[in-house]
Amino acid sequence: MEGKALLNATAAPNLATSFGEFRLYPGRHLLVKDQEPVAVGSRALEILIALTERPGELVTKDELISRAWPNTIVEESNLRAQIAVLRKALGEDQSAARYIAAVPSRGYRFIAPLSRSEVKIHPVEEAAPNNLPKQLTRPIGREEAIGILEGRIQRFRLVTVVGPGGIGKTTVGVRVAEELSSSYQHGVCFVDLAPLSHPSSLPSVLASLLRLPEITGDPISLVSAHLRDKHMLLVFDNCELVLDAAARLAETLLREAPGISVLATSREALRVEGESVYRLPPLDMPPLGAGLTAADALAFPAIRLFVDRATSSGSEYAFDDDEAPIVTHICRQLDGIALAIELAAGRVEAFGTRGIAELLNDRLRLLTGGRRTALPRHQTLAAMIDWSYGALSTEEQTVLRALAAFAGEFSREAAAAVTFDSVANERDAPVQLAQLVAKSLLAVDTHGKAARYRLLDTTRAFALSKLQEEGEVGPVVQRLAKYLCETLEHSHEEIETLSSEEWLSKYGTHINNVRYVLDWAYSDDGDTEMGIALTVAAVPLWYQLSLVDECLACVQRALLGVDPGERRDGRARQVMHLYRALGLAQAFKVGFAPQAPAAFAKALEIAEHLGDIDAQAEALWGLWVAQVGMGEYRASLDNADRFVRLAQSGLDKFIGDRMLSMTLFCTGDFRGARRHADLMLARDVFTDIPPGGSVRFRFGQSVSARIQPAQLLWMQGFPDQAVRAAAAAVEAARTSGHAISLCEALARWSCPILVHVGDLATADSAITELLDLAKLNGLGPWEVFGRCWKAALLIQRGLPERGVPLLRNGLADLRRVKLFNLYNVRFVCSLAEGLASLGEHAEARALVDAAIGSSEEKDELWYITELYRLKGDIFFQRGDGDIAERFYLQSIELARQQDALSLELRGVMSLARSSRGRGDRIGARELLAAVYDRFSEGFDTADLRTARAMLTENP
C-alpha cells in the first residue's frame, strides 16, 4: 500500500486511469468527464485514487481515513460523507452501485472495470494558477467545518462563511479553496475586500486580479464577459465593510457566468438568492467541571491550538496535567475564538499561563503582539473588534455599548429595558438584536422556550471600554438595576410555585448582572441607594443558589451604606429586610452565635414599629431558628407561640406547626411534637401560596416539612416509615437543587436515621455526599457536621481508635461554629461509647454526666434516655451491674413517658444483657419480648434484629 501511495505521488501527470465516462489523473489530482473537470474535493478525490489503485480489493476504512486525513484523527462519519460526495460526482445510484461498493463494517471496493494508459493532455484540462494566500500552518480543529464547506460549495454556487472577527473564517475559507482548487479548470481567484476604501472599487479590483486590460467603461460588464465561459472559484474575503457591493457583484456574476462559484467570508450573510450560509462555530473546548488530564484536554481543538502556538513561539512551555485546567480556563474565557487564543498563547513566555489567567480581566491590553505578517487588524484583539465596531451604524454602536452592561445571558425583554433610552423606540429592540446577531457581534441560543443572547467576553470587554469612553455607564447601569429589582421582586412569588430547576433557569442567570451592578453601585462613581435596593431584591437569589458567603458580604456592605439617623418608612423597611438576611446568613456561615439572634431581634423591632405583621412573622421565625440552634428551647417555644398567634395564612399556620413540633421534639415531648407534625402535614398549603409567602422564610418549606418527622418516627417505633421519610426528604432536596436544604436533609435526618437502623453503608454514602456538598458550596458548619458523622460512623463500625480522635476535634469545631447544638448530645454519646470501648471509662462517664446536667438544665431532653442508658453501659463494663441496672431502669421509664418505643427497646436490651449476667435469663427474656411485640414494622433494622437474636437464644 505504501509503495502504491509513493508511486501515485510521483506519477507522471499524463498517466490516466479510465473507467466508464471518466478519466482520472492521479498525478495531477484531477478527475475529468467528457474533457471537463469534475468538481470534487481533494479528500474525496484521494479516496477515489486509493480505491482505483487496488481495483476489486477491499480497502479498509482505516486505510482510507489515513489516506484522506493524514496525521489527523477523525470520526468514521467523515469518511461516509466523502464517499457520498464521491458517489454523487460519479452520478452513482447507491441502490445499484456501478463504481464503489461498501463492505459493511469493513471498508469499500472499486468494482468497475478500468484501464490505465498515457494520454496526451488536452489544453482545457490544464489547471490554472491561483492567488490564494499561502498558509504556513494547517488549521487546527477545523476538519469538520472544511469537510462541510467542501460539500456545500459543490451543491450551492454561493456559500458564505459567517462568524465574529478572529474566529478563523479566512483560514477556513482559504483551506477549502485550496482543497477544491484542482476541481476548477480555470483556477481560484482570492479577493481581500478589507482594504477597499470605497465599495464601488470592488469590480475594478476583481478585474485587476483577473489580469484584465484597463477599462474606461463598466468594470462589471467586462468581468462578467470574461468569466462567462470560465469554470472558476472566486473567494470574497471580509465582505462586511462592503456588504452591499459584494452582494450585488456576486449576484451579477452568478447570473451571467454559469460556471462560477463564490465562497465568501463575512461577519454577516450577503442575503443573496441561492446563498448557503455556514456559521463557523468557536473551537471546541472541554465541558465545565471536566477534570481532564493533559492527554484528554488535547482532544479539544481550542487546547491544541493554544499549546501549538505556545510551543512554537520560542518559549520552553510544557503542557502537562497541572497546566490542563489553567489552559482550559483561558480558552473558555476567550470563547474559543481562534485569534484570541493565538494571541494569548503568544504571551506565555512573558507571563506564563497562570499570569495570563489572572490578567484576562484586562484582555484587550493583554492580547497584543500577534504575528508581524498578520493584517494590522489581526495583530491585536482590540484592533480586530474595533474593525467590526466601526462597520456598525451609530444606532447599532449605541445598542452594543448598552448591552455590554449584561455580564452573562439576557433576554429580549432585558435588552429592551436596558437600551430603551438608547433606541428611538422600544419596539426597535428586536430589530437591533437581530442586526447584531446577523453581524456576528451577539451570540444567540434558541434552544429554550425563549431566545437568550450573550456578548462574547472579548466583545463585551471592548464594548465596556467604549461605554466608559462615551460616559454612558451610569445611565445604562441605572436602567439595568431597575430592571433587575423589578424582575427579582417578581421572582419572590414563584419560589414555591415553580420547581427549583425552573426557578433557577428563569432567574439564576441574573446573578452575574447583580454582581456587576453592585460592584458599580459601591464604586466612587456609583449609587449607594441603588445598591441597597438591589441587595434587598437579590437575597432570595443568593439563597436559592446557596451563595451564603456572597449574601453575607453584600448585606453587610449595604448596611454600612445606611444612614443611622434616617427615619423614612421606605428606608426602615429596607433595613429590616437587610437585618433578616444578615441573621440568616450569619447563622449558616458562622453557626448560631449571638450575632444571628441579635440581627433577627433588630428586624423584629423595626417590623413592630412599622406594624407589619408578615415581617414580624419572618423575624420571629428567624429568632426561633437561631434559638433552637443555640439550645435556647424555652425562648424558642415562646417565639413559636408568638408566631402562631400572628399566623394568618395557611402557609403561616403550616410553618407555626412545624416550629412547635421541632421545639417540642427538642424538649422530649414526642407526643406533642407528633401532634403538630401531623397537623403540619395535613395542611395542603403549597397549592395556594400568597404572593411572596414562601420566600419570606427563605427555604422551600415543602422540603423541610418532609424532613422533620423522620427521626420522630424512628423514636416512636416506626423505623421503616422513618427511613422512607428521610429518603423522600433527601430526594426532594436533591431535586430542588438547593444545596442548603440538601445539607440539612442529609445532616439532621438522613445520617442519624441510617445510623440508628444500622444501614451503615448507605449512611457512609450520605455522609460523603454531605461533605462534598458543603465543601463545594462553602458551607463550613455543615462540613464540620459531616466530619462528626464520619467519626461517629467509625465508632459504630468498631473502629474507636480512629473515630475517637476525629470526633474530639469535630465536637470542638461544632461547639465553635455553634451549628445545631441540638446534635452535640448525639455526638457526645458516640464519643463516650468509643472511649468506653477503649477502656477510658472515667472520661466517658464524665462526658455523659456533663451532657445529662446540660440537657436537664436547658430542657433538652430528646436524647436523655440514651444518655442514661449509656451511663448504665459504662458501669456495666466496669463490673458495677447493680448501679448499671438503676440507670437502665431510669432510661426505660423516661422512654415510656416520652412514647419513644425505639429508645425503650434499647434500654430493655441493655437491661436484659445485665440481667442475664446475674442469671435472670427468663425475666430478661419476658421483659424484652413484651417490648419487641409492640413493634409493627422495622424487623430488618439493626436493633430489632439484635432483639430477635436475643429472644431466640436458649433460656
Nearest to 256 by CA among 232, 212, 230, 224: 224
Residues 301 and 366 in one domain: yes
Q: Is the pLDDT of residue 198 over 50?
A: yes
Specify whether 148 is located in the same domain as 256: yes
Q: Is residue 368 a part of any domain in this protein?
A: yes
Question: Which spans in 797-934 are helix H?
Answer: 800-817, 824-837, 841-858, 864-877, 881-898, 901-917, 921-932
Residue type, 509: T
pLDDT score at 686 = 47
pLDDT in tens, 767-793: 999 999 888 877 777 888 899 999 999
Single pTM value for the model: 0.60
Q: Which domain holds residue 251?
A: 143-279
Residues 108 and 181 in one domain: no
> What is the per-residue pLDDT for 838?
95
Are residues 33 and 80 both part of a single domain? Answer: yes
In angstroms, what CA-CA distances link 626 with 412, 552, 653, 713, 821? 43, 16, 20, 25, 10
209/332 same-domain check: no
Highest-pLDDT range among 368-382, 542-556, 632-646, 836-850 = 836-850
In a domain, 178, yes or no: yes
Q: What percent of the chain has pLDDT over 90?
A: 31
What one-character-per-residue DSSP string does 382-402 give? HHHHHHHHHTS-HHHHHHHHH
Asked if residue 805 is part of any domain, the answer here is: no
Instruction: Summarize the confidence of residues 847-867 as an average pLDDT.
Output: 93
pLDDT in tens, 126-140: 445 578 887 756 788
How confident is the model over 100-125, as pLDDT tens digits?
A: 888 888 899 998 888 888 765 444 34
- What percentage of the chain has pLDDT greater than the value 70? 84
What value does the mean pLDDT take over residues 10-38? 75
| pLDDT above 90: residue 276 | yes
Q: Mind listing the pLDDT tens digit for each residue in 693-750?
A: 333 444 445 555 556 678 889 999 999 999 998 888 888 788 777 777 788 888 877 8
Exposed / middle / buried, residue 122 (Cβ in 10 Å: 0-12, 13-18, 19+):
exposed
- Domain boundary (279, 308, 330) is at 279
Average pLDDT value over all residues in the chain: 82
| Domain boundary, last residue among 355, 384, 413 | 384
pLDDT for 12 equals 53
List, as own/partner pairs, every contact residues 77-83 make where C-beta atoms lie below 8 angstroms and the sequence separation is at least 24, other chains included. 78/143, 78/144, 78/147, 79/47, 81/147, 81/151, 82/41, 82/43, 82/44, 82/47, 82/147, 83/44, 83/47, 83/108
Q: Of the given ranges (68-72, 512-516, 898-902), which has the lowest mean pLDDT?
A: 68-72
Q: Is there a domain that residue 225 lies in?
A: yes
Is 618 inside any structural domain? no
Whether 785 is covered by a domain: the verdict is: no
pLDDT tens readout for residues 400-439:
899 988 887 888 888 888 886 655 455 567 788 888 887 7
Taking residues 210-226, what's their average pLDDT?
Answer: 77
- Nearest Cα to Cα of residue 582 among 570, 564, 567, 594: 594
pLDDT at 250 over 70: yes
Using the predicted structure, report yes or no on whether residue 314 has a pLDDT greater than 70: no
pLDDT band at 381 (very low <50, low <70, confident <90, very high): low
Both 115 and 217 in one domain: the answer is no
Q: Is residue 180 part of a domain?
A: yes
336 and 217 together in one domain: no
The residue from 328, 357, 384 where one domain ends is 384
Cα–Cα distance measured from residue 376 to residue 383, given in angstroms and rounded to the nearest whole number: 7
Q: Are 162 and 254 in a shared domain?
A: yes
CA distances to 126, 154, 187, 223, 480 from 129, rounded to whole Å, are 9, 20, 6, 18, 56
414 Cβ neighbours under 8 A, 6+ residues apart: 406, 483, 487
Q: What is the mean pLDDT of residues 836-860?
A: 93
Q: Is the same domain home to 211 and 102?
A: no
Contact 457, 406 (CB under 8 A): no
pLDDT above 70 for 648:
yes
The region of weakest confidence among 38-47, 146-155, 461-470, 610-619 is: 38-47
- pLDDT confidence of residue 183: 84
Do residues 362 and 275 share a domain? no
pLDDT at 687 over 60: no
Give me the torsion for CA of 637, 639, 640, 646, rounded to 10°.
Answer: 150
pLDDT grade, residue 382 (50/70/90)? low
**Predicted local confidence at residue 818, as pLDDT:** 58
- Our CA dihedral for 264, 270, 275, 276, rounded to 10 degrees, sits at 60
* Lowest mean pLDDT segment, chosen from 342-351, 623-632, 669-678: 342-351
Looking at per-residue pLDDT, the higher value among 875 and 201 belongs to: 875
| 689, pLDDT greater than 60 | no
- pLDDT surpasses 50 at 370: no
Q: For residue 150, give the CATH number of its domain.
A: 3.40.50.300
pLDDT tens digits for range 557-598: 999 888 766 666 678 888 999 999 888 887 765 555 667 888
Q: What is the pLDDT of residue 534?
A: 95
pLDDT at 10 > cutoff 50: no
pLDDT at residue number 888: 95
Number of domains in the chain: 3
The answer to whether residues 314 and 270 belong to one domain is no
| Residue 34 lies inside a defined structural domain of this protein | yes
Task: Identify the pLDDT of residue 137.
Answer: 67
- Grade residue 893 by pLDDT with cuts at 50, 70 and 90: very high
At 333 the pLDDT is 80
Question: Which one is predicted more confidently, 634 or 119?
Answer: 634
CATH number of the domain within which 71 lies: 1.10.10.10
DSSP codes of every residue in 797-823: TT-HHHHHHHHHHHHHHHHHHT--GGG
Q: What is the pLDDT of residue 379?
A: 45
Q: Is the pLDDT of residue 896 over 90?
A: yes
Do 229 and 355 sit in the same domain of this protein? no
Name which of 414-428, 534-548, 664-678, 910-924 the model is least confident about.
414-428
Cβ-contact 282, 302 below 8 angstroms: yes
pLDDT of residue 706: 56
Mean pLDDT across 68-74: 68
The pLDDT value recorded for residue 1 is 38
State residue 337's pLDDT score.
Answer: 82
Confidence of residue 345 (pLDDT cuts 50, 70, 90): confident
φ/ψ (deg, to 5) at 74: -130, 160
